[in-house]
A and B are shown apart, each in its own frame.
Chain A
Amino acid sequence: MFSRLTRVLAPRTTAHAHCDIPCGVYDPQQARIEAESCYKIIQKYNESNDELFRARCINVKEERAELTKHHIDVMWHDYFKPEHVEKFPDLHEVCWKASKQASQVKRTVDIAEAQKLLDLIDKIDHMWRETGGPGSTRMQASA
């Protein structure tokens, strides 16, 4: 009920109070690497009996999942353009689910949830590649 209310109230436009100039460099691998960290941390958590180690795992996972979410949101808000949505009508749905899934990974130590997150990021990666992302948003290595 509350979340439905906030969805209605939420602005559709983001007004940036950053000082940064958009650099134009985007790559879903940034999100993927953080999400892989979450995956591995959950594995290590489940294999360990050391309470202190497990507590640290939770801590680091929280942090990595937040970074994953941030990088997903940057792709969504800053990289993707309306013409990309025309090409991939489920673009918003996928980004939204991925962002939500990153929150889900914060909450759980279920490895399947971490795998779901990786799969969603791979979908974003696919859309990024199909819209010419690698050529237009990454610098090419100088020989």
Chain B
Amino acid sequence: MRRLFGVFAAALVFSLGAVAVIGRIGRDWEARVSVRGHSMEPTLDDGDWLLVNPAAFRRRAPRTGELVVARDPHDARRVLVKRVAAIGTDGSLTLAGDHPAHADDGSAIGAVAADLVIGQPWFRYWPTERIGKIA
């Protein structure tokens, strides 16, 4: 009886875990993006496909050093993927690329208001040889 309970509990924990994982992927699946351009190398390559967590910054603001997907302040139809280089006193973000030649992207993009941030890319699901969590 006790053993049966153990098996049952394990199955319950496992399925709850599976539901949580599938639920998270399902949610982030809606916000997946493909990377275009080379400014985020070596972290992200041109052509990478990413899952984006749209809830990442609902309860807190992005921090310096975190990756963000955000709307381009110059063109709302365009979406950018960059790293937060600095945070202004008004909460606006300065973004930069990881590639050494793109370190001063922020001055070209300009201040990005926090409400333009769409979410946080956290998982690369393509190409298959580079599948995994993104640092």
Contacts and interface: CB of A to CB of B under 8 A. Distances in A.
A42 to B, nearest CB: 28
Contact of A14 (B38, B44, B79): B79
B97 interface: yes
A9 interface: yes
Interface of A: 6, 9-22, 78, 81
B27 interface: no
Interface of B: 31-40, 44, 46, 49-50, 69, 72, 74-75, 77-82, 97, 102, 105, 108-109, 121, 125-126
A10 B49 contact: yes
Given A11-B32, A11-B34, A22 B75 contact: yes
Question: Main secondary structure on chain A at its contact with chain B?
Answer: loop
B134 to A, nearest CB: 12
Contacts of B37: 16-19
A17 B82 contact: yes
B32 A13 contact: yes
B36 A18 contact: yes
B122 to A, nearest CB: 13
Given A13-B32, A19-B97, 16 more contacts: A6-B126, A9-B49, A9-B126, A10-B34, A11-B49, A14-B34, A14-B36, A15-B35, A15-B50, A15-B80, A15-B121, A16-B78, A17-B35, A18-B37, A19-B39, A21-B108
A9 B127 CA distance: 11
A78 B75 CA distance: 10
Nearest to A73: B36
A17 B47 CA distance: 10
Given A10-B34, A11-B32, A22-B78, A16 B72 contact: yes
Given A13-B32, A15-B34, A15-B80, A21 B109 contact: yes
Contacts of A10: 34, 49
B32 A17 contact: no
A9 B49 CA distance: 9
